[in-house]
Every structure is written in C-alpha cells, then in structure tokens.
Amino acid sequence: MRTSSRDARAAVLVLALFACNDGLQPEPACPNAICGRVTFQGTVPDSTDAVYIVAYQTFPRSRNDLFTFQPSLAALQALPLDSASAPYSVLLPTGRYEWVVAVWKKVGALTIANADSMLREAGYYRDPADTSQPGVVTVAAQGLDSINFVIDFAHMNPPCRYYNPPCP
C-alpha cells in the first residue's frame, strides 16, 4: 500500500507538471517589437535586392556606426514589395531607438567598403511633432502603437548623407 501511495503521488506530480499547458500562446502584435505599415511611393528600381527595416539606438554618424542596428543581419526580414503598402514587424530588444529606417539594398555582395553604393535610406519614421526629424521610439515588453511611415523609391539617400561630415 505504501508503494501504491508513493506511485500515486509521483503520478499526480507528473500530471500537475503537464496540466499547466503553458506552451506558446497567441500574442498580439508588437510587444518587444516595432510594427506597423509602410506605404510605398515611386517605382521599385530594377536593381533592388531587398528592403529591410532596422532600428538604431544611436543615430549613425560614421561608417563605423552603420552596422550597429537591430535586429542582427541574419534576422533581417525583407519587405514584400508587390503591393502599395505592407505590414511589418521587427523584434527588438527593449529600449530607446533614435532612428527607425527602411534600408534599400542593391543586388550584389555587400561589404562595409561598398555600403555607400549598395545601400540607401528609403524612408524613416518621423517625429509627429517635427516631421523633419526622426521619431524616437521606445520598445517595451507590453507593446507599442503602430509605427507607420513612407518608403519613397524616388527619393533615396546614401548612408553617408547622414555622416558627420556628410558626403557631397
């Protein structure tokens, strides 16, 4: 009887462990992320490889800062470009981001040396109070309102435009 009682307790323990079904659950968009919708303007260049959305915690002012964005290179998701607008979501570490930007990449191998010719800023989230300035975004665990902005293929800029000093 003592053995049966011990076995029963062990069984109850295992069942209790499994009764709590805390597997993956539906998760409303945007906690630990920025998300929203981008609207496309202009014609997508034939030389387009992909367009990514990335975020900088500190605004990049030199070529050395160029690859300090989040998420990591390997986690980048290319935007679908076959419609007038597209929803997007980018998982990020929580914190403050000074620049949320769409990066256009030309077909070909990218290196830090050729970044100015291979990459373009194609649009960025703007400060609602002063649309001439980038909007600061704070990513938090509990979520974030949609970050919507325009990607304009007719007005793209090389990264060096934002360096200090900027390129000609």
Partner 1 sequence: MGVVYGSVLDSAGTPVPLVTVRSGSTSALSDALGRYRLEVAAGVVRLAAARIGFRPWTAIVTVPAGDSVRLDIRLPAGTPLQMAPVITTAAKRSQLLDQAVTSVAIVTDSDIARRAVNTIDEAIDKAPGVQFLSGQINIRGSSGFVEGVGSRVLLLVDGVPMNQGDRGGINWDVVPVDQVTRVEIVKGAGSALYGSAALGGVVNLITRDLPLGIHGRVRATGGYYGNPPFDVWRFRDFTGGQGGLDVATSYGTATFRGALAAGARHSDGYRQQDRGDHWQLAGKGEWLPAPNLRLRLSGAWANDAYQVPLRWCVRGGCDTRGQSYQPFMVDQSDTGSHTTSGKGYLAGTVERTVSDRLSWQARASWFRTHFEDVFPTSSDFAVANLFGAELRAVAAPAPDQVVTVGGEGALATVTSDFFGGHTQGEYAAYGESERRRGALRLTVGARVDFLTVDGGGMTAVVSPRAGLVLPSGAGVWRLSAGHAFRAPSIAERFVSTVVDGLPVIPNPNLRPEQAWSFELGHARPIGPWLHADAALFWTEARRLIEPNVDASKGQIQFQNRQRARLAGVDLALRATPLGDRLVTTAAYTFLYARELATDTTPERALAFRPRHLLTLSADYSLGPAALGADVRYSSRMERVEIYELDPRVAAKVLDLRATYTRGPLAAHLLLTNALNYVYTLVPRTLEPVRTATLTLVYSY
For partner 1, the closer of residues 72 and 132 by Cβ is: 72
Contacts of 36 (CB under 8 A, 6+ apart): 87, 88, 146, 147, 148, 149
For partner 1, the binding residues in 70-89 under the rule CB under 8 A are 71-80, 86-89
- Quick one: which of 9, 67, 117, 140 contacts partner 1 (CB under 8 A)? 67
How far, in Å, CA of 61 to CA of 12, rounded? 60
How far, in Å, CA of 93 to CA of 137, rounded? 12
Taking CB under 8 A as the rule, does residue 168 contact partner 1? no
Q: In angstroms, what is the minimal distance from the CB of 43 to partner 1?
A: 20
How far, in Å, CA of 122 to CA of 155, rounded? 7
For partner 1, the closer of residues 87 and 166 by Cβ is: 87
H or E, element range at 12? helix 2-19
For partner 1, the closer of residues 50 and 150 by Cβ is: 50
For partner 1, the binding residues in 114-133 under the rule CB under 8 A are 115
Q: What separation in angstroms does the CA of 112 have from each of 19, 51, 63, 89, 115?
A: 52, 17, 8, 26, 5
Rg (CA), the chain: 23
For partner 1, the closer of residues 96 and 127 by Cβ is: 96
- Quick one: which of 31, 59, 148, 158 contacts partner 1 (CB under 8 A)? 31
Taking CB under 8 A as the rule, does residue 23 contact partner 1? yes
Name the residue type at position 33. A
Q: Can you give the binding site for partner 1, defined by CB under 8 A?
A: 3, 14, 17-18, 21-33, 35, 49-50, 52, 67, 71-80, 86-89, 91-93, 105, 109-112, 115
